[in-house]
Structure formats: structure tokens, C-alpha cells
Structure 1
């Protein structure tokens, strides 16, 4: 079975989870399960990026990107995983992006990730902005299929 890329939706003014669920033919409970960053089903915000489809073949279970290794995070790397990570950093209020993340590893990604590491309580060289397995696993980057 061929896997398809996970679908995301950017919340617009006036949206709510019920309306979004109806648009994408899913339930509010599914949206909540696929978006652990949403703690209150009545509180979503304009420009928030939410997952509106499960990884194909998972039956709707939440699936996260496995840690790709610290060597993955280099300026020459371009991957949808980096963009998905960036949107999770925005959701965690750790962003320093001026125009939003993209798929190429950048200084803004590293600075945003350093903010995430500090939010988790890391400091010094443990908050250098290069993802490690512990901080990556806690970020819950949604699985992205090409």
C-alpha cells in the first residue's frame, strides 16, 4: 500500500474543531488524538497548524517521526520532517521563525529548537539547538510520508 503525505490545515479566524472535523469528514476526538498540542477542544487559534488526517494504514492511531539522528540536522538537508518539526516548535511557542518554517534546516530551526530544549529544562551544551533523542521524542513531530 502506498503511503500518502499527512494532511495539515491552518486554522482561520472563526474556525472551531467541529467545523474543521466536518470539513475533513473526521471526528473532533480524532483531531484531538492526532494533535496532542491541543489541550482544550474549545481553544484553537488562527494560523495554528493542525493535523487533519492520520498516517495511512494506521487506523487513525497517532504516529510520530522517529528520531533521524543528530547528523540529519545539517544546512544541506532538505526534508518535510524539518518543516513538520518547525510547525510543532511554533505550536510549543518556541519559534523564532519570521515567515514560518520550511523543509531546509536553517539557523531559525536551530534557534527555535534550542528554545524547545530550554523549555524542557536543558541548559548549556544540552540546549544547543541540535535535536537529541530525548527532546525529539517529547516534541511529538507527526509522521510525514512522501
Structure 2
């Protein structure tokens, strides 16, 4: 962590491309910090404030994408996610958590989404980037 830094935009750069150079910071955070409205246009020479990283990014599992979380997925990422859900008081596990994506994982994740204030289809138990990043799943 620490304070913010400044990035000078070079020709051809995009907010998402710039964000990849600053682990732990999303392009949306850069846009918000610099009050850049949609369609998020930046220009060469523009100086952007890069917000401070939220956590030690190397120690966190990056969001693997919603399609990762489906029947048949078997990964230690699922186990580590489940352990974090248990720590957050969102467990619907009878046994486990384990590496295979299950209905207990989905119900537990839905409880986490509701704890964050999501409702309806936004609390369906399928991880999204915002809820995943807030869960802070450790890397293996």
C-alpha cells in the first residue's frame, strides 16, 4: 500500500492496459480517481493519478471470471474461497469446503453477496469481480 502515484499516458494506452501495470488497481478505480466519464477517453500526455493499492496484490487470488464457477470445476481456488466464506460467517457447508464447485459453495457465496448488500440476481451465488475482490481470497 502507500500513497497514490502519477502515470503519464503514452500514445495507444488504454485505462485497462494502464491498470495492468499497477497490480491491485482496476481501470474503474483509475477512472474514478481522475473523474474520467464514460466513454473513458484518455489522451497522450495526460497525467493520471493511480490510487493506492488496496492490499498486497501478490497475496490475493485474482478474479478468475464468472464462467469459472460451474458444475465440474475442481480447483484449490474453490477451497480457498470457501475458507474465506467460512471466516466471513457465510458458511452453508456440511463438510468442506473442498476443491469441487458445489451447491454449498453457491449458497455460501450468495450469503456473502447478501452480506455486501447485493439483492436479487446480484446475489445468485456466482462470484462477480466486485464481491470477489472484497472477499480477498488468498493465493495458493
Structures share fold, TM-score greater than 0.5: yes
| TM-score bin, normalised by smaller chain | 0.5 to 0.7
Deviating beyond 6 angstroms after TM superposition, the runs of 4 or more aligned structure 1 residues are none
Residue in 1 aligned with 2:130? 134
TM-score (norm 1): 0.56
Is 1:120 the counterpart of 2:116? The answer is yes
SS in 1 for 2:104: helix
Q: Of 100, 103, 107, which residue of structure 1 is paired with 2:99?
A: 103
Residue in 2 aligned with 1:90? 86
Give the whole-Å Cα distance in 2 for the aligned partners of 1:121 and 1:61.
24
Give the whole-Å Cα distance in 2 for the aligned partners of 1:135 and 1:65.
13
TM-score (norm 2): 0.59
Residue in 1 aligned with 2:61? 65
Give the whole-Å Cα distance in 2 for the aligned partners of 1:87 and 1:62.
19
Structure 2: gaps of 5 or more residues: 1-55
Of the two, which has the highest radius of gyration? 2
Deviation string 1:124-145 (CA, Å, 9 cap, x unpaired) is 000000000000000000001x
